[in-house]
Amino acid sequence: MKLTLEVYRQASPDAAGHFESHQVDGLDPTMSILDALDTLNDQLVRDGKEAVAFESDCREGICGVCGLTVNSRPHGPTPNMTACHQRLMSFHDGDTVRLEPLRSAAFPVQRDLIVARDHLDDVVQSGAWVSIDAGTAPDADTVLTTAEVSERALTFAACIGCGACVAACPNGSAQLFVGAKLAHLATLPISQPEARKRARTMVAVADANFGPCSLHGECAKVCPQSIPLAAVAAVPKERIRALRTDAHSANG
């Protein structure tokens, strides 16, 4: 199988970007898009040229670092699948495939296909955690939780923070990401004591760095973990709960 890869190149965060076109032969339809980039890089290195910089780690759809844009779609043509799982069988022999970094103002390009997703980390650091006393871990059954509640929490906990939702959103909103974190933690008993504070800080950090949500729904169409669009509703819901608590406290 032969493809023409049109790859975005940018030497550094401040450099101008451009596309380079490379023909890559000997590909197998079962290979992933990242495998095609590996093959291209072998070719570039053999020719004494600079390899294309891109991120990957697990290549199993777990870590979320491989996000890139394939033919204008975050991760690639197959819905709800990470780039490392996208197979070349989605293309035809002789096709041209355009590979770019995830596109969003919140994700500045660092080099070639690599972007900085620090603003997602900022949201997580601001409140997507639970404070517990250090010491022996409590037995799992000391806080009774129904299977239904656990399943609901796991649905939202599945978010791998790849950033595809932000890149797919015309507003550059991270509402699916933030909502997944809030919905996950708001569901579990252990995270209730900090729920209000968490909602306030996480939403404030997200508002400062990402665009607003206007319910386009493009985020859920590309999310490799199939986080349901219902997650976006968790953001106003948790924010209102926090405001109510604040008002209640102010009124004594």
Contacts with ligand FES by CB under 6 A lie at: 56-59, 61-66, 82, 84
Closest to 176 measured CA to CA, from 224, 134, 213, 146 = 213
Torsion of CA 162, 165, 171, 177, to 10 degrees: -80
Minimum separation from the CB atom of position 147 to ligand FES (A): 28
Whose Cβ is closer to ligand FES: residue 51's or residue 63's? 63
Residue 82 CB, nearest approach to ligand FES (Å): 4
Which lies closer to ligand FES via its Cβ, residue 59 or residue 98? Answer: 59
CB of 235 to ligand FES, least distance (A): 25
Give the bridge partners for 100, in sequence order: 69
- Least Å distance, CB 164 to ligand FES, is 10
CA 184 from centroid of its chain's CA atoms: 16
CB of 15 to ligand FES, least distance (A): 25
Residue 116 or 240 having the CB closest to ligand FES: 116
Q: What is the DSSP string of 50-85?
A: PPPP---S-SSSSS-TT--EETTEES-SSTT--GGG
Task: Name which of 58 and 208 has its Cβ closer to ligand FES.
Answer: 58
Q: Are 112 and 118 in contact (CB under 8 A)?
A: no
**Shortest distance, position 104 Cβ to ligand FES, whole Å:** 18
Q: Which is nearer to ligand FES, 213 or 222 (CB)?
A: 222
Buried b (16+ CB within 10 A) or exposed e, 228-250: bbebbbbbeebbeebeeeeeeee
Whichever of 75 and 200 has its CB closer to ligand FES, that residue is 75
